[in-house]
Chains A and B, each alone.
Chain A
Amino acid sequence: MAEEKIRVIVAKPGLDGHDRGAKVVARALRDAGMEVIYTGLRQTPEMIAEAALQEDAHVVGLSILSGAHMALVPRILELLKANGQENVRVFIGGIVPDEDVPRLKELGVTGVYGPGAPTDQIIRDIRAAVSGKAG
């Protein structure tokens, strides 16, 4: 029996700009031995939930710079749940005002990281949240 890899969807919801940060994180997770499914720019919540379903992901990592997190994230969590994937861990990277973080965690988000967050920390947190899997 082969070891189970941590499978992570990295997505960039919303209409804003670039995905440099998302790519840096994607490569760091790969270098940590995870399998990263990179879905690219301008993903709708529906597209992200569908990718998580088809890929049997353990983790969804969202890169959000637009300030639209309070609109996008609850919708994504709702869709994951509707698909029977309430166990999928959601992490957010990007620009999120401190005062929104408690509300997001209450909704079920596992981790929120600012632009300068060390990738080591993200990797450790993902491993802790998805224990029992390799990568």
Chain B
Amino acid sequence: MVDVQAILDGQRLALSRLLSAIENQTPEGQQALADLFPHTGRAHLIGVTGAPGTGKSSLVNQLALHYRKATDPKKVAVVAVDPSSPFTGGAVLGDRIRMTALSGDAGVFIRSMATRGSLGGLGRATAGMVQAFDAAGFEIILIETVGAGQSEVDIARLAHTTLVVEAPGLGDEIQAIKAGILEIADILVVNKSDRPGVESTERALRNMLQLAHPVARVFQHHGEPMAVAAPAQTEETALWIPPIQRTVAADGQGVPELLEHIAAHRAHLEATGELAQRERARLAAELDARLHEALLQRWQTGQQADAYEKTLDQVLARALSPQDAVRQLVNGKKG
């Protein structure tokens, strides 16, 4: 049984065990999440994604350090996701190596997790683990994705603010941009800006951004330059144009500015009502998924064990269409 009060009181071993229960999808873990739900919704969830080796873990380390040494220090949780081996189900989770500077601080809690077969850069239980941290009073939750370098929509759905980390000299800028990762970025980070090639990486990102977002432009009109202003922006309609921030995660350069961009993004989400919208969409998705599962389970209990298999055989033999099969299964009769 999970001691919910111990979680709320900040007991770390109780929290750690709850995280395992959630990850293992035990009934106790699910019950604890339900009990803790009224205490959630306060944390700022920050996603950190980007291609392997761009410096995500190093950056998470720096972000956490800066939140801890602010004049109003925040409690920081880190969820760092690495891939499971598809062959053995095992994993080597190595993100902590970059975060040793955070050890010994009771205001920080770092948890590594493997994807356990889930695709899309997060584990199946990542959202639940984040909820547990939220209820336990962590104000900033940093979520490091696997970093497949592809469009990772899962993190954009879960996080309030998504950082996409690029680095010079990987030769994959264009590829990452093509894969649609820009669409999920609230803030673009050019890390390793102590390395050569930082200008060209930044230029590539800026060009892509200008294609994606309406900004002031100058056209040639009958040979005369004509300025066309960007669409008028009021606070409520303002578009968020992702800023580009250079950082050196190795020593913390650019990280104070990055924190300011994150705070500005949070303020933008609140001022425009987008925070409430996102929250609604996220909870709707969770509700849908659970409803789906519950209805499926209820339906299954009302079925003869082999009804599904028999119907599937008929579909396979082209004797029944999938559409008619579902009607038959749900209504218990033909067509």
Q: Which residues of A contact B (CB under 8 A)?
A: 1-5, 7, 26-27, 29-40, 43-44, 46-47, 50-51, 53-56, 83-85, 134-135
Contact = CB atoms under 8 A, between A and B. Distances in A.
B98 to A, nearest CB: 9
Interface residues of B, number: 31
A83 B14 CA distance: 11
Contact of B96 (A4, A32, A38): A38
A93 to B, nearest CB: 16
Contacts of B12: 53-54, 83
A30 B26 contact: no
Interface in B173-199: none
Interface in B15-37: 16-17, 19-20, 23-27
The dominant DSSP class at the A interface is: mixed
Contacts of A39: 96-97, 100
Interface in B71-123: 84-85, 88-94, 96-97, 100, 103-104, 109-112, 114, 116
Contacts of B296: none
A87 to B, nearest CB: 11
Given A40-B94, A40-B96, 4 more contacts: A2-B23, A27-B92, A36-B93, A50-B104
A84 B16 CA distance: 12
A31 B86 CA distance: 10
Nearest to B125: A2
B26 A38 contact: no
A30 B13 contact: no
